[in-house]
Structure 1
Amino acid sequence: MSNTLSIRQSTPDDIQQIRQFILELAIYEKAEHEVEASEADLHNTLFGEGATAHCIICENEGVPIGFAVYFFNYSTWQGRNGLYLEDLYVSPQSRGLGAGKALLQHLAGIAVDNNCGRFEWSVLDWNKPAIDFYESLGAKAKSEWLGYRMDGETLINFAKNGQ
């Protein structure tokens, strides 16, 4: 099977496809019910004024087969930006073509081009295929840090009342 992979920055015309990839990823992660983002939300946060998130699309022979959403964070210890990968997804029928590695390599290039001190992401602890894949590329799990999150009503209540 011949394939021609290419990676490009997304455009507003990709919003429907991006949302579809997000839904497919959520289904894979058994969290479809957690997807709140509408196409309008994605348009505003990826392409609106002041947007800080970015998206790249991987295509095989011109057909979108995957995507990655990323943003820049900051390390006070390094005094440099870092690149954080929020989501990476390749359609099941296109896995094994090298798209995941190509997306990660492209993002690593963006990190290097922007003088980032690190490139980070999170993976669900039960996602052994992804963990094995990332480790095969030389990525290391961060065992000394725990991720914390505040969202929804907890976030709103804490911002208003401190509890």
Structure 2
Amino acid sequence: MLPLNIRPGTSADVPVIFSLIRALAEYEGLSQAVVGCEAALREHLFGECPYAETLLAEWKGQVVGFALFFPNYSTFLTQPGIYLEDLFILPDYRRQGIGTALLQAVAQLAVQRGAGRFEWSVLDWNESAIAFYQKMGAQVLPDWRICRVAGEALDHLGAACQ
């Protein structure tokens, strides 16, 4: 029996998922950006209208990593896709094939669901992640930049129509 198990997250996993989100934020130097809570995460992952899904990586029965993803859509392909919001493995468990297994599991779901693409973002300073993703067959798109409107700017933009 392999020490690694990949499985869907459940409502009971919300505390460990949230702790992994905090660990990811700390790794990225963004701890102050985690302003959400477990209750909201539970509702958004397992409530009446789920917005995202998770896969958890268990190493010898302990959750040591996760992938959080959700559907998107490509108008050019006229096909659904999957966007990977987060992929994180606790530092002590890296280089064990866990990240590879999580990426493969999400890619398998994308294929099963008829997705035309599977995509995500990576911080430009994270050279080890970029090399890992390229080794897995991903293209890093140099001409694209992420645009984000949040907080007061989102409130202002949303109110502009009224």
Shorter-chain TM-score tier = over 0.9
* Counterpart position of 1:88: 87
Any idea what the Cα deviations from partners look like across 1:98-121, whole Å, max 9, x if unmatched?
Answer: 000000000000000000000000
User: Is the counterpart of residue 142 in structure 1 residue 141 in structure 2?
Assistant: yes
Percentage of pairs with the same residue: 43
Quote how far apart the aligned CAs of 1:37 are: 1.6
Tell me, in whole angstroms, the C-alpha distance in 2 between the residues paired with 1:76 and 1:131.
26
Residue identity in the other structure for 1:12 = S
State the 1:161 CA deviation: 2.2
Aligned to 2:48: 49
**Given residue 28 of structure 1, which amino acid in structure 2 is its aligned partner?**
Y
Alignment of 1:63-78 (within 5 A): 63-78=62-77
After TM superposition, the runs of 4+ consecutive aligned structure 1 residues lying more than 3 A away are none
Equivalents in 2 of 1:32, 1:103: separation in Å?
A: 24
Q: Kindly provide the amino acid, as one letter, of the partner of residue 48 in structure 1.
A: G
With 99-108 and 130-139 compared, the bigger mean Cα shift is at 130-139
Contact 1:4 1:61 in 2 (8 A): yes
Counterparts in 2 of 1:19-30, with a 5 A limit?
19-30=18-29
Q: Distance in 1 between matches of 2:138 and 2:145?
A: 17
Q: Which runs of 5 or more structure 2 residues have no equivalent in the other structure?
A: none
**Following the alignment from structure 1 to structure 2, what is the Cα–Cα distance between the partners of residues 32 and 92?**
16
Partner residue in 2 for 1:100: 99
- Any conservation in 2 of the 1:3–1:97 contact (CA below 8 Å)? no
Question: Is the 8 Å Cα contact of residues 21 and 67 (structure 1) preserved in structure 2?
Answer: yes
- Where structure 1 has 5 or more consecutive residues not aligned to the other structure, the ranges are none
- Number of aligned pairs? 161
C-alpha RMSD over aligned residues: 1.2
Structure 2 CA distance for aligned equivalents of residues 143 and 56 of structure 1: 28
User: Partner of 1:100: helix, strand, or coil?
Assistant: helix
